[in-house]
Structure 1
Amino acid sequence: MVFNSLNYICIFLPLAVVGYYLLRKTAFANVFMLCISLFFYAASAVWYLLPMLFTAIIDYFLGKKIQDSDDPAYRKRLLIISVIANIGLLSVFKYTGWLSAELATLLGLFGVTIGTISVALPPAISFYTFQSMSYTIDIYRREFHPHRNIVNYLSFVSFFPHLVAGPIMRARDLLPQLAAKRPLPSHKEVSYAFFMILFGLFLKTVCADNLGAIVGLVTKMIGPQHAQLPPGLGLVFMYGFTYQIYCDFAAYTAIARGSAKLFNVDLMRNFLTPYLSTNPSDFWHRWHISLSQWLRDYLYIPLGGSKHGKWLTMRNLMITMFLGGLWHGAGWFFIFWGLYHGLLLILYRICPLDVWLVRFFGQRMGKLLAIVLFFHLVCFGWILFRATPAEFGPIWHSIIALPGAVIGHIAAYQSYFDKVSIFSYDFVSVCVGVLRGFVSSNWVFIVYGWGIILFSIPVIITDIIAWRNGVEFYELYDRMPTWMKVAIIIVLLYAIQFFGRRESNEFIYFAF
């Protein structure tokens, strides 16, 4: 079941909220919460429950044994079992098909033919394995005590608002909320929750899905024959996917946080205007915050963090980002994407470009240039993330061919430029002629480019407003006067009605 479907918005969520409110003071409140979460997850396929319950139940019992033991060696063995069970389960479902295909290709070079293994990937497996694994690690570190009520624990693992695509919550932050008898949310909190859900639906149906449609049209132009793209369409692909993935994932988080708020449960913020970052460290404090913190606390710091010198710090950064890329998907380009961001982290440690720009151009201009520079470095990374190896070449060639195409059109009118003064009306006429010539021969780029601008501008504007206030845009809701709340809600509703795509497209991170 997806958040942007009528089944969820009009049937499932209202019934779930009403049912919980009726049972919230009884012993069956979390039994009901667990049942509706399992139903939500199993709506597509019942077998999805098996791997989730397998890892959850194993970690539940291992957590109790780790807590009850005072033998360091035994506790460590139990933790290793938990890690192997979680990583093993994730590897079987996520990487078996890819590795078998790569092995078949390699052996094919030597004339050996083998079949490939196809394994269906359960949604959310990357998220709930990390969440469940952090439970046993925190107990091992004596940072959290295991919860003895298995219903409450399973409710924590399967809590439907954040189950499929996060944020990745720690047991110490979420489990106590679910185990407690919570009061009804206030009218103010309910209003805020509905605004989060509405803003998330706007980001998904109006911005992300329309941008995704344009990106899809560009990739279709490449086709199975790996045709070259016209100049500039690579930029359409790059900018389009850059904002598509942000709007898509931020939309999921907004709807998840709003849905959880209706049950008086607070989920952590997962984004904070990431495209206004000035450097890689700043970006990873603002993008997919729950995953960044998980990798920091359970991988980067245990590896040694930045405490053992420059070279070991670089090694730790590359290992962390390599595994972060691999977590996102089974494929070489996901690994390259992770390594690319690892190199950016190292580059900015050695050469702090943002600091240099501020020092040379001043605080305002320098910071603006640092944001623009790093934004485009992130954009290139998204090409690696989204494109297949066969698509990467045509996309990149289309980007670097655009300046040449513009210069070619100007050169075609060079004789006319030589005959007119730069301050004359004739000069303007020649410039208009150059522009018409470029538009007539690159109309696809112009049309698709305007589409990218149209559906990105609302996000850019709201992000700038939020960035200036240090929050996400929907978190400004309580600070708005009533007339502004009403106006924004009306605009969002009409935008969804007239510009929202009707099909219930899955969220991108459902694939991870």
Structure 2
Amino acid sequence: MLFNSVNFAIFLPIVFILYWFVTNRNLKAQNILLLLASYFFYACWDYRFLFLLIFSTFLDYFTGLRMERSKSQKFKKMWFWISIVVNLGFLGLFKYYNFFITSFVDVLSNFGLNANLGTLQIILPVGISFYTFHGLSYVIDIYKSRIKAEANYIDYAVFVSFFPLLVAGPIERATHLLPQIKKKRVFNYVQAVDGLRQILWGLFKKIVIADSCAEFANQIFNNSDNLNGSTLVLGAIFFTFQIYGDFSGYSDIALGTGRLFGIDLLKNFSFPYFSRDIAEFWRRWHISLSTWFRDYLYIPLGGSKGGMWVKIRNTLIIFLVSGFWHGANWTFIAWGLLNALYIMPSIIFNTNRNNLDIVAKGKYFPSFKELCQMILTFSLTVFAWIFFRASDLQHALRYITKIFSKSVFEIPIYFNRFASLIVLFVIGIFLIIEWQGRENNFAIERIFTKNLLLRWLSYILIILAIIVSFGKAESFVYFQF
């Protein structure tokens, strides 16, 4: 079930009405309703994988209790590793088995050896990377004695499978979400309206920005060998806004939906394309994943306390693992490595925390220096996204080679000039709105707060843009991860 589908537009109000008007006096009934709704939501994708979600949930729930009740560190560690191995085993089997097998066969073939190792014809369970990381953080936190094991299975299951975040995040922490699930929730009109506003902006990002850009990005990337360099630059820019509109749009809808039910989810995006360096970009892009890797991988590896070599090594590991998390393809590893190289100068010269504030805070325009920094950071990001979007490394390298040829100075080749220019114009309007709202949680959170007429006019224009752009409900890019 897609957020940008008619089915979800029917599903959400039904759950909302049952939640606040039928089960509102009973917290347990509310949580049971959320769990059943979440399982139904997931089963709409593929009911066969619902068992995997339930099994993973029960495994971590049971493991948490066993670790807490273990009388010796030996048994505590045993249960801990059972959960880690099984969870990562499922993730590895479904997501990475074929990648490792084909890569191994390719290596052997380079030495003149032919190996007949078969791949598995299996479907990647949607959201497996996200709910696996929910469970892993919970188990790790119990093992490190940061939290107590949750005794109520329903509450824990809602934490893992709450439907707004189930298939594409944000990646939640038990310390943040579980207390909200266990606490009685009272309907808050202001919070609900704010949630609807964020859902609206998320739909605009997905349907108007991402899906429109996707049409042209796909045409250009799929025909890149026959196009000139300037057109390929345009394709990379289209994909840059596609991936942002798609994923941050999903996150906005997820956070807004959570607010409708009185639950605040972790913020996942904070206007990353206005970043002044790569370190700032990664503090603002997919925040829940970046902080997850920081807390559960970077810091346990030694963080930045072991000298320059340790900092460089750990940073490299983080970005390579992040790339690999995104998909079983060498293109994602190359994308992660490239971002590691981008950020390395700031790690070496200890400038990675220079830009912690909001750019041009309280001002209408950035300084000339800030503008140059943003343009450079954005350009590096666009370049890196080529690897993310390309079908394989050879495709990415051919694409980049074409960009750095003299054909980059030629006039771009448009598949549909008028439509392309319209989309570019809309992207420009989108950037202006995002810039004006960059000090808020999302761009239109405080739009025309002092003028009711202008505010509602803005809502109407956004809704009309969504209706005009709405076609076939397109899946979200991050569902494949």
Q: Give the TM-score taking structure 1 as reference length.
A: 0.86
1:236 to 234, 237, 249: 234
- How far off its partner does 1:189 sit? 2.1
- How far off its partner does 1:470 sit? 5.2
Aligned residue for 1:211? 213
Secondary structure, counterpart of 2:404 in structure 1:
helix
- Range with bigger deviation, 45-54 or 281-290: 45-54
- Range with bigger deviation, 375-384 or 229-238: 229-238
- Counting matched residue pairs gives 466
CA 115–179 in structure 1, closer or farther in 2 if over 3 Å, else same: same
Task: Report matched runs for 1:53-452 at 5 Å.
Answer: 53-108=54-109, 109-186=112-189, 188-222=190-224, 227-350=225-348, 364-388=367-391, 389-401=393-405, 405-406=409-410, 438=411, 442=413, 450-452=421-423
- Range with bigger deviation, 278-287 or 448-457: 448-457
- How far off its partner does 1:326 sit? 0.6
Give percent identity, aligned residues only.
35
Q: Residues 115-155 of structure 1, C-alpha deviation per residue, up to 9 Å, x if partnerless?
A: 32222100000000001111111112222112111011111
Contact 1:131 1:169 in 2 (8 A): yes
Contact 1:336 1:384 in 2 (8 A): yes
1:508 to 449, 454, 477: 477
Give, in whole Å, the separation in 1 of the partners of 2:125 and 2:352: 41
Contact 2:170 2:268 in 1 (8 A): yes
Letter in 2 for 1:202: F
- How far off its partner does 1:237 sit? 1.5
Give, in whole Å, the separation in 2 of the partners of 1:472 and 1:99: 40
Task: Report matched runs for 1:20-31 at 5 Å.
Answer: 20-21=19-20, 22-26=22-26, 27-31=28-32
Give, in whole Å, the separation in 1 of the partners of 2:353 and 2:386: 23
Secondary structure, counterpart of 2:323 in structure 1:
helix
Aligned residue for 1:409? none
Aligned residue for 1:485? 455
Letter in 1 for 2:345: L
Task: Report matched runs for 1:447-486 at 5 Å.
Answer: 450-467=421-438, 469=439, 471-477=441-447, 479=449, 481-486=451-456
Contact 2:230 2:408 in 1 (8 A): no
Secondary structure, counterpart of 1:74 in structure 2:
helix
Letter in 1 for 2:466: I
Q: Residues 256-298 of structure 1, C-alpha deviation per residue, up to 9 Å, x if partnerless?
A: 1111111111111110010111112211110000001100000
Letter in 2 for 1:279: D
- How far off its partner does 1:312 sit? 0.6
Q: Residues 47-73 of structure 1, C-alpha deviation per residue, up to 9 Å, x if partnerless?
A: 111221122111101111222235233
CA 404–324 in structure 1, closer or farther in 2 if over 3 Å, else same: closer
- How far off its partner does 1:402 sit? 5.1
Contact 2:134 2:171 in 1 (8 A): yes
Contact 1:236 1:452 in 2 (8 A): no
- How far off its partner does 1:479 sit? 4.4
Aligned residue for 1:36? 37
- How far off its partner does 1:353 sit? 10
Q: Give the TM-score taking structure 2 as reference length.
A: 0.91
- How far off its partner does 1:371 sit? 1.1
Secondary structure, counterpart of 1:145 in structure 2:
coil
CA 110–276 in structure 1, closer or farther in 2 if over 3 Å, else same: same
Give, in whole Å, the separation in 2 of the partners of 1:316 and 1:446: 46
Aligned residue for 1:5? 5
CA 480–192 in structure 1, closer or farther in 2 if over 3 Å, else same: farther
- Range with bigger deviation, 73-82 or 229-238: 73-82
Give, in whole Å, the separation in 2 of the partners of 1:478 and 1:74: 59
Contact 1:228 1:394 in 2 (8 A): no
Contact 2:449 2:455 in 1 (8 A): no
- Range with bigger deviation, 101-110 or 310-319: 101-110
- How far off its partner does 1:79 sit? 1.7
Letter in 2 for 1:113: N
- How far off its partner does 1:88 sit? 1.2
Give, in whole Å, the separation in 2 of the partners of 1:234 and 1:302: 41
Letter in 2 for 1:485: R
Give, in whole Å, the separation in 2 of the partners of 1:48 and 1:103: 28
Secondary structure, counterpart of 2:267 in structure 1:
coil
Give, in whole Å, the separation in 2 of the partners of 1:105 and 1:346: 31
Secondary structure, counterpart of 2:165 in structure 1:
helix
Give, in whole Å, the separation in 2 of the partners of 1:4 and 1:404: 36
Give, in whole Å, the separation in 1 of the partners of 2:416 and 2:376: 23
CA 479–394 in structure 1, closer or farther in 2 if over 3 Å, else same: same
CA 228–181 in structure 1, closer or farther in 2 if over 3 Å, else same: same
CA 5–501 in structure 1, closer or farther in 2 if over 3 Å, else same: same
- What are the ranges of 5 or more consecutive residues in structure 1 without an aligned counterpart? 407-437
Larger Rg: 1
- How far off its partner does 1:476 sit? 2.5
- Range with bigger deviation, 469-478 or 112-121: 469-478
Give, in whole Å, the separation in 1 of the partners of 2:267 and 2:409: 43
CA 73–354 in structure 1, closer or farther in 2 if over 3 Å, else same: closer
Secondary structure, counterpart of 1:43 in structure 2:
helix
- How far off its partner does 1:451 sit? 4.9
Secondary structure, counterpart of 2:300 in structure 1:
helix
Aligned residue for 2:17? 18
- How far off its partner does 1:501 sit? 3.2
- How far off its partner does 1:471 sit? 3.8
Pairwise CA RMSD of aligned residues? 2.3
Give, in whole Å, the separation in 1 of the partners of 2:353 and 2:432: 23
Secondary structure, counterpart of 1:169 in structure 2:
coil
Give, in whole Å, the separation in 2 of the partners of 1:322 and 1:353: 18
Contact 1:354 1:370 in 2 (8 A): no
Structure (1 or 2) with the greater helix fraction: 1
Contact 1:234 1:397 in 2 (8 A): no
Contact 2:203 2:249 in 1 (8 A): yes
- Range with bigger deviation, 211-220 or 301-310: 211-220
